[in-house]
Structure 1
Amino acid sequence: MIRAAGCVLWRRSPSGDGIELAVIHRRKHADWSLPKGKLEPGEEARQAAVREVLEETGMTCAPGPELPTARYEVSGRPKEVRYWAAEATGGTFVRNHEVDDLVWLAPEAARARLTYDKDKDLVSAFLATRSAF
């Protein structure tokens, strides 16, 4: 089992009108997705989610409600990715070896930009938790 963790990273819109979600472009996969990555040995999933957000986006974050776990196969191996809603608390995006672009989009625009249905479903789950923050 491949274990991973990530976040639906959000911030209040600089215009003051609602919220925006971070959507990243991964060069290796040529896709638009949510920040996530594999757990390191002995690492807790929530810890890994915060670390991966920082590594991939340059953003620090405050994790909130846990979102549904995504389960799928990668090259015939089962993969489980735990997700949290997480508010961006600081930082600046800098291109890196994994992520070459980050865009902040309104939730519906983020859903439209995401490559995978499982990520689009997480946006819906995230929006359902909005009363929690």
Structure 2
Amino acid sequence: MELTQTFEAVPQFGLCEAGAPYIARPCAFGIALDERARIAVVRIARETYVNWDLPGGMIDPGESEGQALAREFCEETGWTVRPGALVTRAEQFTITRTGERRRNRCGFFLCTLDAMTDGKIEDDHELVWLDPHEALTRLRHEAAAWAVTQWLRMGRVCHGRR
């Protein structure tokens, strides 16, 4: 299934300084469940902070949303996934630790877990399985919490494994 990216009127989250330039950054994130209906969340532990995110990230030039999602999910968790239906789109305004202003244009997709691999390359990322309601309280970005809320409200179910 080819995933396409359109952003007409989507919810926007985060603080945007008027007149300040923000770098538009296309992103794709996954909502995947295990056999106990817990959601995949990545715990990112750095020296001075801990963040919680949905697996996924930036779409590289020439990549489709599905390709980027599968690549990022594996790099962060070690799991290969099959991207599925679009849950929602949203934009997240953020400022990085280095002061870079980003306008993340996010697609959030259901994912089906395929297999655990040795493809994990981000050492500071740890896969944690959380109850979806607990994930809502931990997710760093409001756009990700919005996506999980939309998924819960839609009553969508994603199979945890093949």
Q: TM-score band, normalised by the shorter chain?
A: 0.7 to 0.9
More strand by share: 1
DSSP 3-state at the match of 1:40: coil
Taking every aligned residue pair, what percent have the same amino acid on both sides? 27
The alignment's TM-score, normalised by the length of structure 2, stands at: 0.67
More helix by share: 1
The alignment's TM-score, normalised by the length of structure 1, stands at: 0.80
Runs of 4+ in structure 1 deviating by more than 4 angstroms, as ranges, are 92-96
User: In the alignment, what sits opposite 2:82?
Assistant: 62
In structure 1, how many angstroms separate the alpha carbons of the residues matched to 2:60 and 2:119? 23
Report deviation, 1:88. 1.5
Structure 1 stretches lacking a partner, 5+ long: 14-18
CA RMSD of aligned residues (A): 2.4
- Compare CA radii of gyration and give the structure with the larger one: 2
Structure 2 stretches lacking a partner, 5+ long: 1-23, 95-99
DSSP 3-state at the match of 2:33: strand
CA contact (8 A) 1:49 1:83 kept: no
User: In the alignment, what sits opposite 2:149?
Assistant: 124
Q: How many residues align?
A: 128
Rate the CA distance shift 1:115–1:132 in 2: closer, same or farther, 3 A.
Answer: closer
Which amino acid is 1:68 matched to? T
Which amino acid is 2:27 matched to? A
Deviation per residue, 1:60-84 (Å, 9 max, x gap): 1122210211212233342211120
